[in-house]
Chains A and B, each alone.
Chain A
């Protein structure tokens, strides 16, 4: 991926805070869960951006904020030159045609009362009735399109009158993919599309996604917590921790040379399918739990659990530091200055200084 390419999707300082309220009639906000707390990244056409992180770090919220299922608190999501956060409904609808989602649970993401046909046809029907398609479709066209899509994702088109509960998990996920493809989107946000599936089915679905990417020139934002899956499918990987991106890099580079202490720990946790290597592998075990994301911090978000923490980190929020043009990491270890010798007092004094 060359950086000279124009990005398809730019996410700038995206924040998604969920208010914590108390009181029944006169509700007032007493705090906020900072599910996504100021993340920025670009997605280039044709690539697959993998997002990894442990449970609760805000991966799913990120994609939902991008697709405006949750209205972001602040920040911007620029797609094709349109800021989706500020867009009005009609522009949003037009843009949404190009941004589709695949959901995690193939059992919950399909309406049990709808036949496969109506599920796959639903986006077409909606956009057709809103007259937002380039060419209006007749019901026969929609029918054909549905059959076509079913064949594309490897479903027998004779199954179109069946209900979701009559299918296996993998088949259901194929239905979900067909639905996402119906509007010929440019980018697909895949929210852990394989984590609910058997390993054998996972690879089928991953290969299907890969094939479709080649065929339609799709761009994916792919969430998973399985590192092997991410390694397999991604061209670039972003690692998230507590609502922030801590490291973003080309997939190969990230797996070969993880820089952020959290990434290292995360990668070391993945088992290696080779008993010899596995036995000698050194695991970095993080202490403590993920802290609650309900307060703003002025130090590094990973400070509490970091094996390489320095006094400096406790009160200075690390910016994204460029290691090379394709690799950024949010860690003071890689700053040009060396902070390792700074004592706690000096660090606090530095943090208290007004910024110039």
Chain B
């Protein structure tokens, strides 16, 4: 309402007061896009998704690659913690066993029902029923666990109550002489070496030798992985060359990373020991942030949380990783593939298609025959071969997908350009001395934008699908990285038992694709000044 009135006064101002501002196709398109509500909603959703994916590192979510095996297949819950869910799962199991053993007494019909569920493979219903029935009977005092089961439950409860995750955030070194505090991570490798030797109370020479051995082992391992099948002498020779290539600096930086890791592990272990005894005496409150003193020179900032107090709003997967953070991190890969792939393929397609269409003749002939040949080759095979040759990482996935997907765009743009080439406005532009580039990019491309935009928005989902297909084949995104496609692919196995693993990534993907389509539709209308299809 407000928007409308505003627009009208603006228009009136134009007509009579003759205040006319500058305008361009882009600005105008934005004005028209804003009027299309669905497109705006779509755009907002796409932006929110992209922001979430881009800022995933700073969001308060659990790491997407942290495996906690105790938390396997936990169902999504807003109220219960991981510990409670673990207990629930265990109880379901125990009640079911009790029913089998006959200690959990149910009516004949109920037993028949349970058998029927088992026959129908509806395990979830069996567990749910056993759990509710068992809990009811236990509260009513009709059922008690036998001593073995009770012990299992108690042990689990203790585990839930006491287990914690600890991490060392920063280690601070205080110089005894000057009293200055320094972050250990920013210190020189030699200094760290002596501090570490001091910490372990061994001779510095031992540590030095140990680190050097480690590094040469590391280098040797990467060498063996890169060029397998050489003799030991050759490896030794290669190793020497590699070490020379690394130089003082390279070795120092490798040694520093190794040493820092070791210092951290040592501190973590001792802190863990201390904390465990404190928990037993019951004096700790979680979550915990404290500074501990390691020895006279080192202090460390340590944070610890109860392991089983985590909450998984969207459940967990088969190795206890948080689905929410996996979906968000998976979005990073999927959205990037969808957008970057489409963008590159459209750019290559526009340039080559426009050249072929505008130049015509031999250039057109050879370009299009090349496109024909590429079309003829099995598309997935090309991608698979490319990935096999150049290695399986995300960058190569982008390149492989973009490499074969510009063909259709090029064809389309070529057709458009050819039909526009002889139109009078292009002739007019030429009679005004416009350069070929200007004619192509100022006249022809804007006039074929509607086709290009529609096609690209259809490409985005296609790219996401292709990526998931490749991930399914094991050629796309590798664990621990995730993409929506690989999440869905992983979830298909346990679909009936753990439906949340399938539903949430699928919903996330569907919403994004819907939004993308609406946005694309809106963009097409916005870039067409003659479009009547406006809200």
Q: Please report A residues at the B interface, Cβ cutoff 8 Å.
A: 24-25, 64, 67, 69, 93, 96-97, 100-101, 103-105, 108-115, 117-118, 122-123, 126-127, 130, 132, 143, 157-158, 160-161, 163, 165, 176, 179, 183
Q: Nearest B residue to A183 by beta-carbon distance?
A: B432
Residues of A close to B21: CB separation below 8 A: 161
Partner of B428, one of A93, A179, A183: A179
Residues of A close to B429: CB separation below 8 A: 111, 122
Among residues 12 to 65 in chain B, which have CB atoms less than 8 Å away from a CB atom of chain A?
14-15, 18, 20-25, 28
Q: Nearest B residue to A114 by beta-carbon distance?
A: B25
User: Are A93's CB and B433's CB within 8 A?
Assistant: yes
Residues of B close to A165: CB separation below 8 A: 529-530
Residues of B close to A143: CB separation below 8 A: 22
Q: Please report B residues at the A interface, Cβ cutoff 8 Å.
A: 14-15, 18, 20-25, 28, 365, 423-425, 427-435, 438, 443, 446-447, 449, 527-530
| Alpha-carbon separation in the docked complex, A110 to B530 (Å) | 13
Partner of A126, one of B15, B365, B425, B438: B438
Residues of B close to A127: CB separation below 8 A: 433
| Alpha-carbon separation in the docked complex, A101 to B22 (Å) | 27
Residues of B close to A122: CB separation below 8 A: 429, 432, 434
* Min CB gap A148→B, angstroms: 14
User: Are B20's CB and A118's CB within 8 A?
Assistant: no
Partner of B431, one of A101, A114, A117: A101
Q: Nearest A residue to B429 by beta-carbon distance?
A: A122
* Min CB gap A189→B, angstroms: 8
Partner of B23, one of A100, A110, A117, A157: A117
7 contacts between A and B (CB under 8 A): A24-B365, A104-B424, A113-B447, A113-B528, A158-B14, A160-B20, A165-B530
Partner of A67, one of B23, B431, B434, B446: B431
Residue in A24, A109, A113 with the greatest tally of chain B CB atoms within 10 Å: A113
User: Are A96's CB and B20's CB within 8 A?
Assistant: no
User: Are A112's CB and B433's CB within 8 A?
Assistant: no
* Min CB gap A41→B, angstroms: 20
Residues of A close to B433: CB separation below 8 A: 93, 96-97, 123, 126-127, 130, 132
User: Are B24's CB and A118's CB within 8 A?
Assistant: yes
Contacts A114-B25, A117-B23, A126-B438 supplied; 8 other A-B pairs, CB < 8 Å: A25-B365, A96-B431, A109-B427, A111-B443, A111-B446, A115-B24, A122-B432, A163-B529
User: Are A105's CB and B424's CB within 8 A?
Assistant: yes
User: Are B23's CB and A103's CB within 8 A?
Assistant: no
Residues of B close to A103: CB separation below 8 A: 424, 427-428
| Alpha-carbon separation in the docked complex, A163 to B28 (Å) | 11
User: Are A161's CB and B23's CB within 8 A?
Assistant: yes
User: Are A108's CB and B425's CB within 8 A?
Assistant: yes
| Alpha-carbon separation in the docked complex, A114 to B441 (Å) | 13
User: Are A111's CB and B447's CB within 8 A?
Assistant: yes
| Alpha-carbon separation in the docked complex, A179 to B265 (Å) | 76
User: Are B530's CB and A163's CB within 8 A?
Assistant: yes
Given contacts A108-B424, A113-B25, A165-B530, contact A100 B20 (CB under 8 A): no
Q: What 6 pairs across the A-B complex have the smallest Cβ distances?
A: A109-B424, A108-B424, A123-B432, A163-B529, A161-B23, A113-B446
Residues of A close to B428: CB separation below 8 A: 101, 103, 109-110, 176, 179
| Alpha-carbon separation in the docked complex, A93 to B447 (Å) | 26
* Min CB gap A310→B, angstroms: 42
| Alpha-carbon separation in the docked complex, A69 to B432 (Å) | 10
Residues of B close to A112: CB separation below 8 A: 447, 529-530
